[in-house]
Structures are given as C-alpha cells and as structure tokens.
C-alpha cells in the first residue's frame, strides 16, 4: 500500500504539478522518510494520520538534530503529499496544515570576492579537454548568473556565439535573454569548437555541456567539479550551488546595476527575492568601513 502511495505521489508531481527535477527529488525524499517513519510506528494508512502524528514526526526530526529549515521543508513536502491524497479521494483533510512551525532563520548567502572569483576561474587548464569544458562552464555561470540546474540543461542552440546572447529559463520562470561578455563567449567557443564534438556520445543529443562520457552533465556532477576547483584554489568558504549566482548579482549591484535589471537577469518572479543583495551590499560596505577607516580601527 505504501509503495502505491509513493508511486502515485511521484506521478502526481510530474504530470499534474509539472515540478522541476530538483523539486521532485526533494519532495520524494521527504515523503519517503515520512512514510518510513509511519511504518516504523505501526501506521499503515496515511489517511488516518492527524495533526498529533505530524507533530510527533516534527519532534522525531528535531531529535535527529535536523535544522529548522529542513523540518520546515519536510512539512511542506508532507502538505503536498496530503494534497495529493485529497485530490485522489483518499483523504478528506490535510493534517500537516494544522502544524505550526518556527520560522527558520534566513541566512545571507555566501559571496566570493572579485579576487576569489578570478582565482577560481583560473584553475581549469583550457589546454586539456576537461579543463576547456570546465573553464567554459565557470565563465558562463559567472557571466550570466543562471542557476546551475539551468546551466546543465542548456542546449547548443541556447547560446548565440555571434550576438553574445544566452537564452534560458524556458521551463522555470519564463524565457530570459541574457547578454554574455566576450571572455565567456571565447571560453564557450573554444569548448564547442575543440572539445564538445570530440567527447559527445549519441546519448548526448543537443546538450551543450557533457561529461567525459559524452552524456549531459548532471547538476551534482557540475558541483563536484566546482568544489574540486575551490579546494585547488585554497578557497575556504563553503561553496553551494548558488555561490557564483549570488556573487554575479552582488558584483553587478556593487558596480551600479539597477535592481530591476538584476531581477530580470536572475529570473526572479518577485523583486523581494532580489532585494537580499541590497542587504548583502550593506553588510559588505560595513565590513569595508570597519576594516579600512582609521578611526573605526581604533575601536
């Protein structure tokens, strides 16, 4: 029975909600853990679960030292699961909606400085096939601020190497046309002309970036590459899938770009998502002031 629920929920997310692969993986993982927990506690029918059982699960997650952000995301996934049960006529109410959670503390994202960016981008050796590909990916990601998931989903036709324009985001938040500076265009051109055709396999299709077996590179594979170069460069900051994206946005803001333009390039549906970089910029200026002003140093 539980297996039927798992399969049905996955199909519901794919066919009804049309969620991204990353969202699908997250929901599936959270709900799998929840259903495993129910089975371990002797509950075989999720539709009979009430708010008390959901609260007990929250306490269980807390006992495992899960962060408040993880708990909040898990309950959001469980709410989605019960919406599916209601849509299928297997449940009449959503018990997860009655559970009140603490609002997780929102951490400001980690940003690489201009020097750290240059150091990171200088790590790949473009004379080697792998280094040539990696150089192109890093340059393009920092040049455009696209998501890492969007980077690995790019096809060859999505970048116009003559007009220096990248098209992406068709399936996320609407198509975006983003200008690409000459350095990144040169790196991508070098990769496309010298390396891509040599490593592309029949399974690679139109993928712009492939692994060395010629198949489309995965998001996880890409970030292993990034972390490897960060370690090689001696960068001690924690690298996340959005580090170059955040750095791109803040560096544009530092150099006078309009917040609305940054919002459009990032593909944020709401300007409030972009305003976090204003807070980051203010924190950056405070740090510069405290480190550089002679009177501030005296304190």
State the CATH number of the domain containing residue 190: 1.10.443.10
Within-domain flag for 128: yes
- For residues 73 and 153, state if they share a domain: no
pLDDT of res. 205: 87
* Dist CA 246 CA 142 (whole Å): 9
Partners of 168 in the beta sheet?
176
pLDDT of res. 63: 92
Q: Tokens 């807070």 identify what position?
A: 279
Please state, as a whole number, how many other Cβ atoms lie within 10 Å of the Cβ of residue 225: 18
pLDDT of res. 289: 47
DSSP 8-state assignment for residue 173: T
DSSP 8-state assignment for residue 17: S
pLDDT of res. 293: 45
Tell me if 124 sits within 8 A of 209, measured CB to CB.
Answer: no
- For residues 229 and 173, state if they share a domain: yes
Within-domain flag for 199: yes
* Dist CA 79 CA 145 (whole Å): 32
Q: Tell me the two tokens of residue 113.
A: 């400085």
Angle subtended at Cα 20 by Cα 3 and Cα 229, rounded to the nearest 5 degrees = 110
Instruction: Give Cα separations from 258 to 85, 165, 214, 244, 271 (angstroms).
Output: 45, 20, 40, 19, 12
pLDDT of res. 61: 92
Positive or negative: CA dihedral 233, 238, 241, 242: negative
Taking the chain (299 residues) in runs of 10, the rounded mean pLDDT of each run is 81 86 89 93 89 92 88 92 92 89 68 91 96 96 91 94 87 76 96 92 88 90 93 89 86 85 83 77 60 52
- For residues 193 and 225, state if they share a domain: yes
pLDDT of res. 44: 86
* Dist CA 104 CA 168 (whole Å): 31
* Dist CA 145 CA 136 (whole Å): 14
Query: C-alpha 133: how far from its chain's center?
Result: 21
- For residues 254 and 128, state if they share a domain: yes
* Dist CA 286 CA 181 (whole Å): 30
Within-domain flag for 161: yes
Cα torsion 275, 251, 143, 221 to 10°: value is: -80
Q: Is 3 helix (H, G, I), strand (E, B) or coil?
A: helix
pLDDT of res. 266: 85
Element (H, E) at 179: strand 176-179
Within-domain flag for 299: no
Residues in contact with 68: Cβ distance below 8 Å, sequence separation at least 6, in sequence order? 101, 102, 103, 104, 105
- For residues 139 and 271, state if they share a domain: yes
pLDDT of res. 264: 83
Q: What CATH number is associated with residue 90?
A: 1.10.150.130
Number of domains, the chain: 2
- For residues 221 and 253, state if they share a domain: yes
Q: What are the strands of the beta sheet with 176-179, ordered from one edge?
A: 159-160, 165-168, 176-179
- For residues 33 and 148, state if they share a domain: no
pLDDT of res. 203: 78
Quickly list H helices, the chain: 2-11, 21-40, 51-63, 68-87, 114-121, 129-144, 148-153, 182-191, 197-199, 219-233, 243-254, 259-266, 271-274, 276-292, 294-298
Provide the residue range defining the domain that includes 67: 2-98
- For residues 23 and 165, state if they share a domain: no
pLDDT of res. 106: 63
pLDDT of res. 128: 95
Within-domain flag for 216: yes
């Amino acid at each position: 029975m539980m297996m039927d629920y798992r399969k049905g929920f996955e199909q519901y997310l794919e066919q009804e909600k049309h969620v991204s692969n990353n969202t699908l993986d997250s929901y599936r993982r959270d709900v799998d853990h929840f259903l495993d927990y129910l089975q371990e506690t002797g509950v075989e029918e999720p539709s009979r679960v009430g708010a008390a059982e959901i609260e007990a699960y929250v306490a269980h997650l807390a006992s495992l030292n899960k962060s408040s952000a993880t708990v909040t995301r898990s309950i959001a996934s469980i709410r989605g699961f019960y919406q599916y049960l209601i849509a299928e006529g297997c449940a009449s109410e959503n018990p997860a909606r009655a559970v009140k959670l603490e609002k997780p503390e929102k951490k400001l994202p980690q940003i690489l400085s201009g020097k750290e960016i240059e150091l990171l981008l200088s790590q790949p050796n473009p004379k080697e096939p792998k280094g040539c590909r990696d150089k192109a990916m890093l340059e393009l990601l920092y040049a455009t601020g696209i998501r890492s998931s969007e980077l690995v989903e790019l096809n060859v036709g999505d970048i116009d190497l003559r007009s220096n324009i990248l098209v992406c985001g068709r399936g996320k938040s609407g198509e975006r046309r983003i200008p690409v500076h000459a350095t990144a265009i040169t790196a991508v051109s070098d990769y496309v002309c010298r390396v891509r055709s040599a490593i592309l396999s029949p399974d690679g299709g139109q993928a712009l970036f492939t692994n060395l077996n010629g198949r489309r590179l995965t998001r996880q594979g890409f970030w292993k590459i990034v972390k490897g170069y960060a370690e090689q460069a001696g960068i001690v900051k924690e690298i996340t899938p959005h580090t170059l994206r955040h750095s791109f946005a803040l560096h544009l803001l530092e150099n006078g770009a309009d917040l609305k333009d940054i919002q459009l390039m990032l593909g944020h549906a709401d300007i409030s998502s972009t305003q976090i970089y204003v807070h980051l910029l203010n924190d950056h200026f405070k740090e510069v002031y405290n480190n550089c002003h002679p009177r501030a140093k005296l304190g």
